């Protein structure tokens, strides 16, 4: 009798485990394996965070990736805790971000020990140091509203982005002063 209960228990656990593993959120898109390669002067750039935003309104899912040492990011699509490899077959705006490593950065455990005031001072100091470092990603590629990069994963499985194709800093506005009045020229 006890052995029978034991086997029934195992069967129930297996059924629950298998059904839990196959859960797919409603309206989750079909995906296909896709990648983004990031280069500077034809050399791979590692640790670039990549975010894809659908050009047309999308669902409640997110597509991201991070470049490895070879400059290639394998994309993943998330909704809550559900994740699959690949990206939906549609067109996306592509944004890139890479925060330069600052000397003296602390681990999350070390930061927690600083206390509230110490944490704010630490973050202010690190951001000042980071702002003084050379930028890695052109500013235009950091902002979803300004990025010129589109990836059409309905047609392609991979895109390559050469950072040197984009200006590092946004164009400066010309400022004219006539008779004490400051006029800006677009």
Per-residue pLDDT reduced to its tens digit, 38-83: 999 999 999 999 999 988 876 678 899 999 999 999 999 988 888 8
Of 9-23, 95-109, 139-153, 159-173, which one has max mean pLDDT?
Answer: 139-153
Residue 179: predicted pLDDT: 52
- Residue 23 to residues 79, 81, 83, 146, 179, Cα–Cα distance (Å): 12, 11, 11, 36, 70
Residue 186: predicted pLDDT: 45
Ordered by where they begin, the domains of the chain are: 25-100+136-170 (2.60.40.1120), 102-134 (no CATH)
- Over 50: is that where the pLDDT of 185 sits? no
pLDDT digits (tens, 9 = 90+) for 124-143: 888 888 888 888 899 899 98
- Over 60: is that where the pLDDT of 16 sits? no
- Region 92-110: what's the mean pLDDT? 88
Give Cβ neighbours of residue 68 (< 8 Å, ≥ 6 apart). Answer: 46
- Over 80: is that where the pLDDT of 117 sits? yes
Phi, psi (deg, nearest 5) at residue 112: -60, -30
pTM: 0.70
> Is-contact 38 73, C-beta < 8 A?
yes
Q: What does the alpha-carbon distance between residue 118 and residue 120 come to, in Å, rounded to a whole number?
A: 5
Q: What is the mean pLDDT of the chain?
A: 81
Q: What does the alpha-carbon distance between residue 156 and residue 161 come to, in Å, rounded to a whole number?
A: 14
């Amino acid at each position: 009798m006890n052995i029978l209960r034991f086997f029934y228990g195992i069967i129930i656990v297996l059924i629950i485990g298998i059904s839990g593993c196959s859960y797919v959120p409603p309206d989750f898109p079909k995906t296909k394996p896709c990648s983004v390669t990031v280069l500077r002067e034809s050399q791979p750039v590692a640790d670039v965070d990549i975010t894809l935003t659908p050009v047309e309104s999308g669902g409640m899912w997110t597509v991201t990736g991070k470049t490895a040492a070879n400059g290639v990011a394998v994309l993943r699509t998330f909704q809550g805790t559900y994740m699959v490899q690949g990206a939906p077959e549609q067109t996306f705006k592509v944004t890139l971000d890479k925060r330069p490593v600052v000397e003296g950065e602390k681990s999350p455990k070390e930061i927690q020990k600083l206390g509230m005031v110490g944490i704010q001072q630490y973050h202010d100091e690190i951001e000042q140091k980071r702002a003084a470092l050379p930028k890695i990603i052109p500013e235009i590629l950091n902002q979803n509203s300004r990025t010129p990069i589109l990836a059409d994963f309905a047609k392609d499985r991979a895109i390559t982005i050469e950072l040197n194709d984009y200006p590092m800093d946004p164009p400066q506005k010309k400022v004219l002063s006539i008779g004490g009045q400051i006029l800006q020229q677009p």
